[in-house]
Amino acid sequence: MPVAHDDTRPLTLRDVSEASGVSEMTVSRVLRNRGDVSPATREKVLEAAKALGYVPNKIAGALASQRVNLVAVIIPSFRNMVFPEVLSGISSVLEETDLQPVVGVTDYLPEKEEKVLYEMLSWRPSGVIIAGLEHTDASRAMLKASGIPVVEIMDVDGTPIDSMVGISHRRAGREMAKAILKAGFQNIGFMGTKMPLDHRARKRFEGFTEALAKNGVEIMDQEFYSGGSALAKGREMTRDMLDRTPELDFLYYSNDMIGAGGLLYLLEKGVKIPEEIGLAGFNGVELLDGLPRKLATMDACRTEIGRKAAQIIAARVDNPDAEIEKEIELTPTIAYGGTLRRK
Amino acid sequence: MPVAHDDTRPLTLRDVSEASGVSEMTVSRVLRNRGDVSPATREKVLEAAKALGYVPNKIAGALASQRVNLVAVIIPSFRNMVFPEVLSGISSVLEETDLQPVVGVTDYLPEKEEKVLYEMLSWRPSGVIIAGLEHTDASRAMLKASGIPVVEIMDVDGTPIDSMVGISHRRAGREMAKAILKAGFQNIGFMGTKMPLDHRARKRFEGFTEALAKNGVEIMDQEFYSGGSALAKGREMTRDMLDRTPELDFLYYSNDMIGAGGLLYLLEKGVKIPEEIGLAGFNGVELLDGLPRKLATMDACRTEIGRKAAQIIAARVDNPDAEIEKEIELTPTIAYGGTLRRK
DNA sequence: TTGAAAGCGCTAACAG
DNA sequence: CTGTTAGCGCTTTCAA
């Protein structure tokens, strides 16, 4: 039971020192399990600390030791289920170390990224994990100057500041295009998000159209949305697109949520899938397991990216000169589901 | 363009001071927009800071000023879409202030909550927003002793340590039970998560059964799941329960995701909804907008809870003695959708 | 095994 | 408007 202390000032090491009759230094040693302390003193100190309800001040500790056990993690959004999964990969690895992730969100805005980064770096974290390879010049400069390990994640189509872990979205788009053509579809429509700043979606789209072009095929129709429930948007866009371009025989969605919306719509209409129309999404979200028909998709290796990135940080914090692989490309595989088969 | 400095030591105020020929104190004033500084010196300082690529050290700043602009936010999980929405409510309010949220995750484990809380409090944040009213004794003690504003969110069925913002889950359960009975359903099944530590789900369930009992009705069947895709689980559980208890005429799901799974399953089977079977979920997630039929649900006021909680913290940080309402109960309303109407 | 002194990088408070 | 002084609460380093 914490014992009340005079005023409302937070407790300090000194309070514990006085309460236990042991020097501040020794109290500090006990509380950090550092150096040799006799079991007796140790006992006394722990008792006093607990009785008082002492919580160490990491700010002072960090300033004195010049070490901060935080890892800055910067992502575009929490709403896109992709990022929580990356975070859980990061957490699972960092939990084994004494490092702690601290998350910042950019809303896909470069200026906000810059601000968040500045804010986080000012806490002098031990490392940075940041989504994407595209940053403002100022952001790059800060990251370079920080002198701490930096891992850029999700994407490998570009040059990292320090190291990177991800998939090639360009290649992902190409692979999907090839699979669709191979399955015999030719009249292809595309639906995606209206987000010029989502570089990974853009790269997938570019890879996709590029691979089609190489085979003499061009997208017949395309539509981009923003805002609203992705599932509902997928439904609407699919309806509109098919009204507009009824000869389509395949729909490629830039994410699984809108793909699921499209799938539900088509099933309701009694459209034969994939005989009349084939479908594919992107991400491999768990949600798809519950749909009436499994949507073809491509796994973005989210958890694994998080794990690998955290491992790099942990290794470098442990030993700044550790020999580590600086560019890790994971390979997503196509899950064919029931919507991308030879028609 | 940042100018290289000798060694790899991070830059300090002193470096900027020397580069600009202005005292450290004045540099500090400029960088914080504090006090009066002549435009000329101001200019010089900003230029030097930018040229060097200086990023302030908040650790030192916080220690010196005894003020930390962080708000600790402690939630059970990122995976449950509820929490990202609460976060976005919090962010939207804190963005207008100079406070910053820092998120910690407990995985619904009281001991982990305790650990995360300890960890966060050791950074001496300006306030704490924490999900739920149930905590270990040690956690409560820490929160009380912290001397900072604490807002417990999501739930109001209990006594807060300091203040609380949320809905009454017990009442939510009761209201739903009444609505179901009023619509003429009597043979009711329940499906939920197998999470003894999800107190809010438990309270909803208790309120639900209690209100039924008051009307002489008892749940005919119930099932609890854990792990896996919620959509898929909803589908499976619904199938199993109807196989087991075919006379059911209403299914109440503890969250919208499993409810959506059940809905999709029943629609596929050609079951008439709500004539043969009525359905309801809980949360009011955006996802539902895209389903073939809108599922009845109850809004959990997620964003609003986040906003209100952040407002309380901001007000108290601004003025510790501010007169504020300490217990805010929001009232969820039933969205009837198309699955809870008189059959 | 324990303690004393010095200082981490910044800001409050005051003086000019 | 600008500078000086004295810490913030801890840990590092060295001495006992």
Q: What confidence tens digit (pLDDT) does each residue in B286-302 have?
A: 888 999 999 999 999 99
pLDDT per residue, tens digit, chain B (343 aa), is: 444 444 578 899 999 999 999 999 999 999 999 988 999 999 999 999 999 999 999 999 999 999 999 999 999 998 888 999 999 999 999 999 999 999 999 999 999 999 999 999 999 999 999 999 999 999 999 999 999 999 999 999 999 999 999 999 999 999 999 999 999 999 999 999 999 999 999 999 999 999 999 999 999 999 999 988 999 999 999 999 999 999 999 999 999 999 999 999 999 999 999 999 999 999 988 888 999 999 999 999 999 999 999 999 999 999 988 899 999 999 999 999 999 988 6
In this structure, are B163 and B307 located in the same domain? yes
CB of A58 within 8 Å of any CB in chain B? yes
CA B267/CA B283 separation, integer angstroms: 21
CA B333/CA B300 separation, integer angstroms: 8
The answer to whether strand D lies under 7 Å from the CB of residue A33 is no
Nearest-CA residue relative to C1' of C3: A23
Residue B1 covered by a domain: no
Which residues numbered 162-181 in chain B sit less than 7 A from strand C, measured from CB?
none
Residue B138 covered by a domain: yes
Average pLDDT over residues A323-332: 96
Residues in chain A: 343
In this structure, are B254 and B197 located in the same domain? yes
Residue A59 covered by a domain: no
Residue B219 covered by a domain: yes
Q: What is the pLDDT of residue B107?
A: 93
CB of A121 within 8 Å of any CB in chain B? yes
Average pLDDT over residues A251-279: 96
Residue A48 covered by a domain: yes
End-to-end CA gap in chain B: 71
Give the number of domains in chain A: 3
Between chains, do B55 and A146 touch, taking CB under 8 Å as contact? yes
When pLDDT is cut at 50, 70 and 90, the band that residue A217 belongs to is: very high
Checking each nucleotide's C1' against the CA of B64, the nearest proves to be D8
Residue A288 covered by a domain: yes
Q: Tokens 């999800």, residue?
A: B198
Looking at the predicted structure, is the pLDDT value of residue A3 above 70?
A: no
Q: What is the pLDDT of residue B6?
A: 47
Query: Residue B343's closest CA among B130, B185, B236, B155?
Result: B185
HSE-CB of B78 using CA atoms within 13 angstroms = 19
Average pLDDT over residues A332-338: 94
pTM of the model: 0.93
In this structure, are B144 and B177 located in the same domain? no
Structure-token pair, residue B20: 């600009």
**Which pLDDT tens digit goes with each residue over B171-201?**
999 999 999 999 999 999 999 999 999 999 9
Closest CB to B84: pick one of A1, A79, A88. A79
Looking at the predicted structure, is the pLDDT value of residue A2 above 50?
A: no
Q: What is the pLDDT of residue A7?
A: 52
Backbone φ, ψ for residue B144 (5° rounding)? -65, -45
Q: How many CB atoms lie within 10 A of CB B9?
A: 10
Looking at the predicted structure, is the pLDDT value of residue A1 above 60?
A: no
In this structure, are A313 and A213 located in the same domain? no
Q: What is the pLDDT of residue A45?
A: 95
In this structure, are A324 and A296 located in the same domain? no
Backbone φ, ψ for residue A103 (5° rounding)? -100, 135
Query: Residue B325's closest CA among B171, B160, B89, B168?
Result: B160
End-to-end CA gap in chain A: 71
Q: What is the pLDDT of residue A27?
A: 96
Closest Cα in chain A to B124: A57
Residues from chain A that touch B10, judged by Cβ atoms under 8 A, are: 124, 146-147
Backbone φ, ψ for residue B49 (5° rounding)? -60, -45
Q: What is the pLDDT of residue B7?
A: 52
The answer to whether strand D lies under 7 Å from the CB of residue B41 is yes
Structure-token pair, residue B275: 């004539």
Strands B334-335 and B297-298: antiparallel
Q: How many CB atoms lie within 10 A of CB A51?
A: 14
In this structure, are A323 and A291 located in the same domain? no
Structure-token pair, residue A50: 């607990």
In this structure, are B189 and B279 located in the same domain? yes
Q: What is the pLDDT of residue A288?
A: 86
Structure-token pair, residue A283: 């991400």
When pLDDT is cut at 50, 70 and 90, the band that residue A93 belongs to is: very high
- The DSSP 8-state label assigned to residue A253 in this structure reads E
Domain CATH number, residue A214: 3.40.50.2300
Domain containing residue B40: 13-52
Residue B207 covered by a domain: yes
Cis peptide bond N-terminal to B149, omega within 30: no
CB of B63 within 8 Å of any CB in chain A? yes
Query: Residue A158's closest CA among A334, A331, A327?
Result: A327
> What's chain A's average pLDDT?
94
Q: What is the pLDDT of residue B188?
A: 98
